[in-house]
Chains A and B, each alone.
Chain A
Amino acid sequence: MVHWSAEEKQLIASVWGKVSVEECGAEALARLLIVYPWTQRFFSDFGNLSSPTAIIGNPKVRAHGKKVLTSFGEAIKNLDSIKDCFAQLSKLHCDKLHVDPENFRLLGDILIIVLAAHLTKDFSPACQATWQKLVGVVAHALAHKYH
């Protein structure tokens, strides 16, 4: 089980409180598809992903980004049982979606950059350190049921 100090829990909550799940989720997913274009392989039915502008404006990307970050919010509500929380999602990503877990790490890093851009100077080094730990734990949990 992952241990979270009181300070870490505070940093997680305070950042999350300032985040628009819809906006940040959409932006994080769009940037994943733009910065690491090979990740588009999972979204062949999303329509037009032909340019950064197309990706940013794509309604399916926005909707899915919101879905992904909403799910991330579940981890935040269940910091002491993230592996259990994502057990089903992990099986889904392995058995049905066939997503290489490396993609979870890529998205986690992109999310951090999106948070930094939104929070600017409020995204202190301590904030970043806590959130890098969180995205790492989430990525690990999503990969946990892979076989």
Chain B
Amino acid sequence: MVLHANDKTNVKAVFGKIGGQAEELGAETLERMFAAYPQTKTYFPHFDLAKGSAQVKGHGKKVAAALVEAANHVDDIAGALSKLSDLHAQKLRVDPVNFKLLGQCFLVVVASRHPALLTPEVHASLDKFLCAVGTVLTAKYR
């Protein structure tokens, strides 16, 4: 799955508009993921996952920051997320299937907060971008 020029343009434009709310978007993405896909909670036994949890907010901020970083370096996502990729391979070892679930929830957050922004073309580009991020983060798993 290759990001074409128009995809990169779309991704940069979206993050240009929502990057400022990254923290909130990240937190809501995680909240939705834990609600819709309870199995994802198994990676956070050490977290308080109640609504409004400071830990979820903090983690959401990290996740969103990584997406923003990837968007800012959309020509070299692998380079931009190299350390995160190492972390996921060596320490976190989140099953690859879960990146798709996070991606779905991120798209739902963008759709519900910025419906006008998520045109079908932008939706396609963002979906590809999220797939690419997931691919990078699992690239060194084996």
User: Shortest distance in angstroms between B110's beta carbon and chain A's nearest beta carbon?
Assistant: 8
**Chain B residue at minimal CB-CB distance from A121:** B112
Task: Find out whether the CB atom of A113 lies under 8 angstroms from the CB atom of B107.
Answer: yes
Partner of B108, one of A34, A35, A56, A123: A123
Taking a contact as CB atoms closer than 8 A, the residue among B32, B37, B104, B115 that contacts A120 in the complex is B115
Interface pair B35/A125, CB less than 8 Å apart: yes
Residues of A102-147 whose CB lies within 8 A of B = 109, 112-114, 116-121, 123, 125-126, 128-129, 132-133
Among A35, A114, A120, which residue has its beta carbon within 8 angstroms of that of B113?
Answer: A120
Chain B positions within 8 Å of A120 at CB level: 112-113, 115
Given contacts A109-B104, A125-B31, contact A116 B111 (CB under 8 A): yes
Q: Which of A30, A56, A118, A132 contacts B36 (CB 8 A)?
A: A132
Does A113 lie within 8 Å of B118, measured CB to CB? yes
CB of B113, distance to nearest CB on chain A (Å): 7
CA distance A113 to B126 in the complex (A): 13
Residue of A nearest to B32 (CB): A125
Give CA–CA (A116, B110) in the complex, Å.
9
Distance, CA A37 to CA B63, complexed state (A): 28
Cβ-closest chain B residue relative to A130:
B36
Q: Flag if B115 contacts A118 (CB, 8 Å).
A: yes
Q: Are A128 and B36 in contact (CB under 8 A)?
A: yes
- Asked if B54 is an interface residue, CB under 8 A from chain A, the answer is no
Cross-chain contact B127 with A35 (CB below 8 angstroms): yes
Contact partner, A112, options B37, B108, B119, Cβ 8 Å: B108
> Please, which residues of chain A bring their CB within 8 A of the CB of B123?
31, 34-35, 113
B124 close to A (CB within 8 Å): yes
CB-CB nearest in chain A for B113: A120
Select the residue from A31, A113, A117 with max chain B CB neighbours within 10 A.
Answer: A117
The yes or no answer to A47 lying at the interface (CB within 8 A) is: no
Contact across chains for A123 and B121 when beta carbons are under 8 A apart: no
Q: Which residues of B contact A55 (CB under 8 A)?
A: 120
Please give the distance in Å from B2's CB to the nearest CB on chain A.
13
B residues within 8 A CB of A118? 115
Closest CB of chain B to A106's CB: distance in Å?
A: 10
Which chain B residues numbered 88 to 127 have a C-beta less than 8 Å away from chain A? 104-105, 107-109, 111-113, 115, 118-121, 123-124, 127
A100 nearest CB across to chain B (Å): 17
Given A128-B36, A129-B35 in contact, is the A112-B104 Cβ separation under 8 Å? yes
Nearest 5 pairs between A and B by C-beta? Answer: A117-B115, A116-B111, A129-B35, A116-B112, A117-B111
User: Can you give 9 A-B contacts (C-beta < 8 A)?
Assistant: A113-B123, A117-B111, A117-B112, A120-B112, A123-B112, A125-B31, A125-B36, A128-B32, A129-B36
